[in-house]
Amino acid sequence: MWKIEASGRMDKDFVLLILSSPSGAGKTTLTRKLLESFPELRFSVSHTTRAPRANEVDARDYHFTDRRGFEAMVEAGAFLEWAEVHGNLYGTSLAEVDRAKADGCRGMIFDIDYQGARQIRAKLPTVTGVFILPPSMQELERRLRGRASETEEVVQRRFAVAKLEIEHYAFFDYVIVNDEIDKAFDQLRAVILAERARRTRRASLAEALLRERKA
C-alpha cells in the first residue's frame, strides 16, 4: 500500500497535478490533450456513483460503482479523498496512485472538485492545483448544453453549482482561462514544465554537481 511520507511528500520527480473547474469549463478536453503530450503522466481514474455517459468506458473514464460499494470503500479507508458532487459520490482511491507509482509513471493528473483538492492538499502539500475558468458564464452554459449526453435538468443543476465552484478559485496555485483551447493548453503545459523545474525537485542534482566540483 502506498504511504504518504511523514513530510507529506511523495518522490521528488512525481508530479501531482489537480485540475479543477466548474463542470463544462474544459477539464476533460484539456486532460486528454495533456496525456497525449505527456504519456509518462497517468490520469487518475476516480470511482463514482454517477451513471456512465454514452461515450464513457468503465475503468478508462471512471470506475463506475453503486452507492453501497462506494460506501464500503469509504469505510475501509480506501480513498485518498472523496466528496459528494452534483448529488453523486466521487473519490480517488489510494490504489490508483499506488498503481501509477508501481508502473513507473512520472506523475498523476487528478480531475477532481475543490473539496477533493482540499483533502489531497492536506495530505500532500506539494500537490499543484490548477483551476480552469470559462471565458464567460454564457459560454459555460453553451458548453454544458453542447455536451449532448446531458439532460436539461443535469445541465441546470451543474450550471447552478458553477458559481459555488468558482468561489473556490483562490485555493488553487494557477488559474487558466479556457477561451481558446490551444492557448489554455499551452499554459497548462507550461505549468507542468515549471513544476518539474521546482528547486525542491532539483536539490539532489544541484548537490551532486557541487560534490563533483569539490572532487
Would you tell me which residues interact with ligand ADP (CB under 6 A)? 21, 23-29, 143, 146-147, 178, 180-181
90: contact with ligand 5GP by CB under 6 A: yes
* Strand partners for 46: 62
Nearer to ligand 5GP by C-beta: 12 or 50? Answer: 50
Between CA 96 and CA 104, with CA 102 as vertex, the angle to 5 degrees is 110
Question: Quick check: 111 and 19 in contact, CB under 8 A?
Answer: yes
Taking only Cα atoms into account, the Rg of the chain, rounded to an integer number of angstroms, comes to 18
Cβ neighbours, 10 Å, residue 81: 23
Nearer to ligand 5GP by C-beta: 75 or 212? Answer: 75
Q: Read off the DSSP letter of residue 58.
A: B
Cell triple for 40: 509518462
Instruction: Give SS3 for 169.
Output: helix
| Contact partner, 143, from ligand ADP, ligand 5GP, none, Cβ < 5-8 Å per class | ligand ADP
116: contact with ligand 5GP by CB under 6 A: yes
| Contact partner, 129, from ligand 5GP, ligand ADP, none, Cβ < 5-8 Å per class | none
* Footprint on residues 126-145 left by ligand 5GP (CB under 6 A): none
Cβ 30 to ligand ADP shortest distance, Å: 7
| Contact partner, 65, from ligand 5GP, ligand ADP, none, Cβ < 5-8 Å per class | none
* Nearest partner of 79 among 26, 88, 87, 69, judged by Cα: 69
Question: Quick check: 23 and 161 in contact, CB under 8 A?
Answer: yes
Instruction: Using the structure block, give the residue that is written with the C-alpha cell 485555493.
Output: 171
Amino acid code (one letter) for 12: K
Cβ 24 to ligand 5GP shortest distance, Å: 8
Per CB under 6 A, the list member of 31, 49, 65, 92 interacting with ligand 5GP is 92
| Contact partner, 46, from ligand 5GP, ligand ADP, none, Cβ < 5-8 Å per class | ligand 5GP
Binding site for ligand 5GP (CB under 6 A): 23, 46, 50, 81, 83, 85-86, 90-92, 111-113, 115-116
